[in-house]
A = this chain, B = another copy of it.
Amino acid sequence: MSKTPKSEVLAKPAQSRRVTTRAAGAPKATPKPPANRAERAAERRAAIVEAALDEFIARGFAATRLDDIAKRAGVAKGTIYLHFKDKESMFEDLIRTAIVPLVGRMHAPPPPGATVRDAIEGFALAFMQEIASTRRGDIVRLIVAEGPRFPAIADFYYREVVSRGLAGMRALIEAGIARGEIRHQNLARFPQIMVAPALIAVIWQSLFARHAPLDAIEMFRVHLDLIFGERRAA
């Protein structure tokens, strides 16, 4: 009962591949194409990652087509499978890769000479500028969206970002309490509170900014005023 191999032929298109005259002499004269194979392969991979992130962010996991990723990356679909096992593991790889740079910032250096408030404020400023208002923020949203369907990603994100970030934040809060900058000891039990407005900002940007722009940085400052007391006279 094998399938009739009937019309195997028909589809052959012309396929005259332009050979690019290939002027004699210059073998190395690769003008644009950067460098050796490995490098070019790495570049292609990077292009795929870039394109895939854009597509996944814009459409979510299930609705993203690999054809679109390939087209956006300027690559054939088969090339994707030279770098990734399948769509699912590609998605997980992608998110993991994209998260790493987020973690870098998380090692909050214990406040050197500045106040704890300054440390947190600088931190929040960086977060708002580098994450909330960029594509990185969409990655956070993507995790919220697809997390339940990709427990592995949710776990990874919790381990690598959430638990570390909260631990760092807790340390800062305790330092603030020890120094007398923060009066509410209970805050150390819920570092989430410190971070909450940042998450609000991320979500707001991608859902409601069109309707009502939100000055995320100013909001965070007001939030810090609640915790540390007013900065200056209103």
Please give the residue numbers on chain A whose beta carbons come within 8 Å of chain B beta carbons, in ascending order: 58-63, 141, 143-149, 154-155, 157-158, 162-163, 184-187, 189-190, 192-193, 195-197, 199-200, 203-204, 206-208, 211-212, 214, 218-219, 222-223, 225-227, 230, 234
> Which of B59, B148, B155, B186 makes the CB contact (< 8 A) with A225?
B186
CB neighbours (8 Å) of A141 from chain B are 144-145, 148
CB neighbours (8 Å) of A225 from chain B are 184, 186
Q: Determine how many copies of this chain the complex contains.
A: 2
Q: How far is the CA of A189 from the CA of B221 in the complex (A)?
A: 12
Q: How far is the CB of A102 from chain B (nearest CB, A)?
A: 16
- 8 A-B Cβ contacts within 8 A? A144-B144, A144-B207, A145-B145, A157-B207, A163-B212, A184-B225, A193-B197, A196-B200
> Which of B162, B184, B195, B207 makes the CB contact (< 8 A) with A222?
B184
